[in-house]
């Protein structure tokens, strides 16, 4: 009997140990934009990108690559899966920041002091934690960096504070700042962006977190018929409702803003044969109650 109990204790020990080892590790992105690939190789498909300070769960590490879930981009219930260079991650320690501002320009600089040398460039949609309270008259805000005691400055004019009370025109103005940006499959920034990345970034600035990919963006919000579309609504295209492959932001008069594989961030029209034949419907995110990602963080 004692032998059996000892055996069970040993099994239980290894079971608990394996579960503890497998538990995800919380991390933050340290690069302005960090690429996430389908496999642990730079030549593998780029599936998405994460911004500076984005939350990440690290599941495994292999040869300088980390298997991750990008928490606020929900492809799965825990985030967007993929592989990221481990050098772009800081394993989070202590309490997480709570007060953030968010970059509202296509590109914004970070400085050590006003008028000094630009030390880093960050992109539309990046959430930056405040290192000290922001004053209404401040021209610069001091922000923290992951894993560093040093702080940097961001111009107050380049950031805003999340408040999900935007209008459709607000969303369009934000998206249109990326006019002319080159198309990049899996891209999320002014350095290169795809159709659903444009939607994700534009809405994120205003406090709305939509899914990362077009097929899942189609599944959220309020269903809108073509004749009822308003500026800021999302318009979706594909072979069928089960095969959504493209998304844009409606601007009125049958036009929409989108990241086109052939022309980058530009405008399109629902009257064009290519889009009218593939149009699968609209979705309204504003006033739909969708403001937070549907993710689970262990």
Which residue in 185, 188, 170 sits closest to 54, CA to CA?
188
Place of tokens 């219930």: 77
Which residues, other chains included, contact 173 with Cβ-Cβ below 8 Å and sequence gap of 6+?
A: none
Q: SS3 for 97?
A: coil
Let me know if 195 is a catalytic residue: yes
At 12, list the tokens: 């239980």
Of 37, 88, 101, 195, which one is the catalytic site residue? 195
- Catalytic residue (one of 37, 88, 206, 258): 258
Per the CB < 8 A criterion, the answer to whether 216 and 285 are in contact is no
Runs of H (alpha helix) within 178-243: 195-205, 214-217
**DSSP E strand stretches across 79-117:** 80-85, 89-91, 100-103, 107-111
Q: Phi/psi at 15 (nearest 5 deg)?
A: -65, -50
CA proximity to 243, closest of 276, 280, 210, 282 = 280
State the Cα–Cα distance between residues 43 and 84, nearest whole angstrom: 12
- Tell me whether residue 258 is one of the annotated catalytic residues: yes
Catalytically annotated residues: 195, 246, 258
């Amino acid at each position: 009997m004692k032998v059996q109990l000892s055996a069970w204790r040993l099994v239980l020990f290894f079971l608990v140990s394996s579960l503890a080892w497998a538990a995800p590790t919380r991390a933050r992105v340290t690069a302005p934009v960090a690429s996430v690939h389908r496999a642990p190789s730079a030549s593998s498909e780029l599936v998405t990108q994460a911004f500076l300070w984005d939350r990440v769960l690290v599941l495994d590490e292999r040869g300088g690559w980390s298997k991750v879930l990008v928490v606020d981009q929900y492809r799965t219930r825990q985030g967007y899966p993929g592989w990221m260079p481990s050098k772009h991650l800081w394993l989070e320690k202590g309490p997480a920041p709570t007060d953030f501002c968010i970059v509202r320009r296509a590109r914004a600089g970070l400085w050590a002091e006003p008028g000094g040398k630009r030390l880093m460039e960050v992109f539309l949609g990046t959430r930056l934690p405040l290192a000290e309270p922001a004053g209404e008259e401040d021209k610069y805000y001091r922000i923290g960096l992951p894993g560093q005691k040093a702080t940097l400055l961001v111009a107050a004019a380049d950031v805003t504070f999340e408040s999900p009370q935007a209008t459709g025109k607000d969303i369009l103005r934000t998206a249109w700042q990326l006019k002319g940006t080159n198309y990049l499959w899996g891209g999320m920034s002014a350095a290169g962006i795809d159709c659903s990345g444009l939607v994700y970034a534009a809405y994120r600035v205003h406090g709305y977190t939509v899914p990362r990919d077009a097929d899942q963006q189609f599944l959220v919000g309020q269903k809108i018929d073509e004749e009822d579309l308003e500026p800021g609504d999302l318009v979706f295209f594909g072979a069928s409702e089960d095969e959504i492959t493209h998304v844009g932001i409606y601007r009125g008069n049958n036009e929409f803003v989108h990241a086109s594989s052939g022309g980058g961030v530009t405008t399109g029209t629902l009257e064009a044969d290519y889009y009218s034949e593939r149009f699968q419907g609209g979705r309204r995110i504003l006033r739909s109650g969708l403001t937070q990602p549907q993710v689970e963080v262990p």
